[in-house]
Every structure is written in structure tokens, then in C-alpha cells.
Amino acid sequence: MAAIPLLSLHNVTVRRPAGPVLQTLDWTLNAGEHWAILGPTSSGKSSFLDALAGRLPVATGTYSHPAGVLREVVEEVANDYQFDRQVASSARYYQQRFNADSAEESPTVWEVLQHRIKPTGTVNEQSVSLPPPAFPEHWLAEVADWVHITHLLDRHLTSLSNGETRRTLLARSLLRRPKILLLDNPFGGLDVRSRERLHGILNRIAAEGTTLVLVTTPREIPDCITHVVELNAGQISWQGLKAEMPSVPESAPETLTDPVLLPRWLNTSALPFTFAVRMRDVSVSYGEKVVLESINWAVRRGEKWAVLGPNGSGKSTLLSLITADNPQSYRNDYELFDRKRGTGESIWDIKRNIGFVSPELHLYFPREQPVWKVVASGLFDTAGLFRKMTPEQTEQIEFMLDLLRIQYLRDKRLSQLSTGEQRWVLLARALAKNPPLLVLDEPCQNLDPAHIARFRDLVDELCQSDERTLLYVSHYAEEIPTCVTKVLRLDAGRGTIERF
């Protein structure tokens, strides 16, 4: 029996404003198939999904799909809040999730899923006319049960953890009953249990008749996947049955630092301190929800720590106290760089000693500034560059671009880069002021295996100095740099200390 094509690309080229991102693609999705899209950073994986979803037009060639009903058949799962202007406007800034009053300005999960979002700033709810719920309550309840978010329906969107947000966005797409579901790195940022749960969800979705096409890594290919297509530099390098997929090397062919420049960067700030962090019975709660409970933790200068724990265990909240982004700092007893929090220091006094990278910072960072300005903003701890730099500061930024070998990206806008390239630029931003403390929160999220290995080796190189202090968060043990020797493990807001 002949295969029934659902979607097909013939000699297709896809362009973005900066130029072609996919070229001479020939690919067919047949009924009964489920595909994984693999490839290195900047290979065009996300653009491939956007083209299938109709978000990127085909410049040349032919894209065959159900004429006129593509958006009714194909659904691309959103990665963040930007899918809706009203939701995006209510989730305005990175620190919002840590501020109880501001977090409640965002819509609840139920309101998002039922398309009943009040305009930002609504004071009198009676003055707002909202449409009826988009879906029957029994169908919403069924989908919420599938993806394990029933208990989240009354929660505000910006209060969710990374894993909770991803399951919510998956539910949003499943409610529309798509025939073909597109997912871009759905496992990124999820802990072991959440990844196992999502594998089960996707296998169930596939078994019940929805066709899956997802960007992922070789280690996270769901059992339901039948075929694999590999991209390299915007072209298909291999496609075929999953069982026949060639092995993908995960070792790093080289490091990314310039060995001549690295010794100069290793000279850390002369800021004198004994403890980067010292916490005594630190607790954080929002209403009746306890996020951190009686944390006692001391990080000496030069120590390298991993902060581990499942999604929702309190890791992001803990880091927000250290980076001065949480207003509950002032009700707790702890010190940063030997100075008791809340004794007159400004948040900028704290931030100037910390280099910080996180998926949430990536989410909220403005995308239209050129790379050199993004990196330069790290000198001032701002989301973009808004002041004139001195010649010495300009030289410092050029040095950082050279050190990480990303000078070729210098004048491109952040929005023109792949997700992996954007993460690399934000790392350069974190390193720009040569801080004594590096706080790297899931810095490898959505990087390909080779870049993960290279990044891990890079962090080891950058932390050779006994003066450099490191806090590193990851859900994958193999991503943690070898320099890490201690672990703070969080579970349901409580912490235990271990050797790594």
C-alpha cells in the first residue's frame, strides 16, 4: 500500500531577512510517521519547524500541504509567552515571577487556555467583555490530566516553573486537536522526572493519532519516533528510519576560548571577601506556598558548586536571592560577599560582582540590539546598552568577543542568531566584567551535544583560578563541569549538601 503524504518539501529554500536559512530541501511526512529533527547549533532546525508551520514563507521550491487549512492541521507548540500579545504584555520582566503582587497581574493558566485574558491593567473587571470559554470544560479537564497540570489551572502564568510552563504550552496546543504537532526542544530545562513524564505524554499523543515532528537531541528521542532528519548548515545531511540513524559524536573537537587571551581573563576582580554566599534559615513563601524553607548554606570564595533539584524545587528562587532580583531578600538573614543583605547596598552593588546566565534572562532579553551591544550591557547589568562607553570599555568588549571566538557575530542583531548562538552571546555578556562569581542557570539548555561538551570544557577553563566562584545549575549530570566539587540539592524547598 502506497504511503499517504501529509506534508512534503521539494527543492525548498527558506529565507529570513538576513539571508537563506534552509536550502534545497526534499522531505516528505507520510501518515503513520513521527519525525525527530537533529543537527548542530545554527543548522536550521527551528527554521525547519517554522517553515512547516507556515511562519516562514518558502522562497523557492514547493511546499505541499492541505491547501487553505494548514493552520487547522499543523500546530507549533509555543516555547514562551510571546504567542499572545496580551499574555506577553502581562509577563513583562524577568523579576516579575519573584514579586508576589506583580506575578498576580499575569493571567491564570485557565484564563490562558480558555482565551479569557483580561487586558493588562484592568481595574474594574465588569468593564471588560470577554468571549465565552474557547473549549468545553470536560475537554480542558481531560487535556490537563494528560499533561499533569490540573493542579495548576488556578495558578498565575508567571509563577510557574520551567517544566510547568512547558506542559501548559503543550496543553494549549493539544486543546486544538491538531493532526500534526510541531515541538521545538520540548525537553529543554526539564528535570529527569519531568522528561520521563513528557516522553510518556508524547508517546500517548502519537498512539492516539497525532503526528509528531520535533526538534530534539539524540539522547532525548521519544520511543514513538519512527524517522530522523539531520540538518547541517541549512541542508539535509541525512534522513531515514530511526533504527538506521548514524551515531552522532558528542565529544568536543576543540574549545572555544583563545588560549593566548585566556590567561588575561583568569585574573579575577580584586574584591576582597571570604564568603560569596552565607545563608542562615532562609525561607521564601508566596501566600501559603512555601518555596524555600530554612536554607543554611555557605559558599566560600573559589568554591565550585552545582545546585540541583527537580523543577519547582526552589532553584530559581534561591538564585534570585543571590542576584538581588527577589524582594523577599530583605526579610531574610544572609550575606553576599561578606555583607549582610539589606544594610544599604544597592542591587547594582551586588550585580557588578556576578555574571549571570539563565533561560529566563534569555526569554526576556530584547532581541534587536547588535551582539556587541548585548555583550557590552553586561558591564552595566542592564537589558541592552543605553550609555556611551569609554575606550577602555570598548576594548574590553572586543577582547571578550575575541576570547570566545564570536567576533564574526559582532554586528548581527540577536534576533538574527540561532538559539544556541544567542545563548553563547549571553554567556559573553555574563563574562564581560570578569566577575568573581559566575551563576550559570541551565546554560546549555537547547545546545547541541557538541556545543554542550565544548561549553562544559569552556567553564572548566574559565574556572581554573582558585579565586573564581561558580554556581552551576543543570538537570543533566554529564553537563556539569569537572571543576564542580560540591552540591546543594533542593527538594520541595529544603536543601541538603553533598560532595559531587
CA distance 386 to 317: 28
Strand partners, 191: none
CA distance 497 to 500: 10
**Higher-confidence residue: 281 or 87?**
281
Contact status, residue 211 vs residue 31, Cβ threshold 8 Å = yes
Examine the pLDDT at 444 and tell me if it is beyond 60: yes
Strand partners, 370: 413
Q: How confident is the model at residue 478 (pLDDT cuts 50, 70, 90)?
A: confident
CA distance 206 to 180: 10
What pLDDT shows up at residue 349?
A: 81
b (16+ CB within 10 A) / e for 295-313: bebebebebbbbbbbbbbb
Contact status, residue 185 vs residue 423, Cβ threshold 8 Å = no
pLDDT, tens digit (0-9, with 9 covering 90-100), for 107-158: 889 988 998 887 665 555 665 678 899 999 999 999 999 888 999 999 888 7
Contact status, residue 56 vs residue 16, Cβ threshold 8 Å = yes
For 332, the grid coordinates are 531574610
Mean pLDDT of the chain: 84
Domain boundaries, the chain: 5-244, 262-499
What mean pLDDT comes out for the span 168-190? 88
What pLDDT shows up at residue 251?
A: 46
What pLDDT shows up at residue 343?
A: 72
CA distance 391 to 377: 15
What mean pLDDT comes out for the span 478-486? 90
What pLDDT shows up at residue 237?
A: 93
Q: What is the β-pairing status of strands 19-30 and 333-336? A: unpaired
Contacts 24+ apart (CB under 8 A), 91-98: 91/157, 91/158, 93/364, 94/325, 94/360, 94/361, 94/363, 94/364, 95/320, 95/325, 95/326, 96/158, 97/158, 97/159, 97/316, 97/360, 98/317, 98/320, 98/325, 98/326, 98/327, 98/328
107 DSSP 8-state letter: P
Contact status, residue 445 vs residue 189, Cβ threshold 8 Å = yes
**Higher-confidence residue: 222 or 347?**
222
What pLDDT shows up at residue 216?
A: 92
What distances in angstroms separate CA 465 from CA 460, 461, 500, one per listed residue? 10, 9, 19
Contact status, residue 153 vs residue 108, Cβ threshold 8 Å = yes
Residue closest to 195 by CA, chosen among 474, 450, 473: 474
Q: How confident is the model at residue 420 (pLDDT cuts 50, 70, 90)?
A: confident
The SS3 call for residue 10 is strand
CA distance 424 to 428: 6
**Higher-confidence residue: 108 or 226?**
226
What distances in angstroms separate CA 382 from CA 13, 355, 373, 443, one per listed residue? 38, 12, 11, 19
Same fold, 5-244 and 262-499: yes
- In this structure, which topology does domain 262-499 adopt according to CATH? Rossmann fold (3.40.50)
**Owner of C-alpha cell 554556581:** 471
Percentage of the chain beyond pLDDT 90 is 35
What pLDDT shows up at residue 93?
A: 45
Q: What are phi and psi of 124, to 5 degrees?
A: -100, 105
Q: Does domain 5-244 have CATH number 3.30.1330.10?
A: no
Q: How confident is the model at residue 253 (pLDDT cuts 50, 70, 90)?
A: very low
Examine the pLDDT at 214 and tell me if it is beyond 50: yes
What pLDDT shows up at residue 35?
A: 97
Between vectors from CA 87 to CA 84 and to CA 89, what angle results, nearest 5°?
A: 105
Query: Terminus-to-terminus CA distance in the chain, angstroms?
Result: 55
388 DSSP 8-state letter: P
What mean pLDDT comes out for the span 360-376? 86
What pLDDT shows up at residue 129?
A: 78
DSSP 403-472: HTT-GGGTTSBGGGS-HHHHHHHHHHHHHTT--SEEEEESTTTT--HHHHHHHHHHHHHHT-STT-EEEE
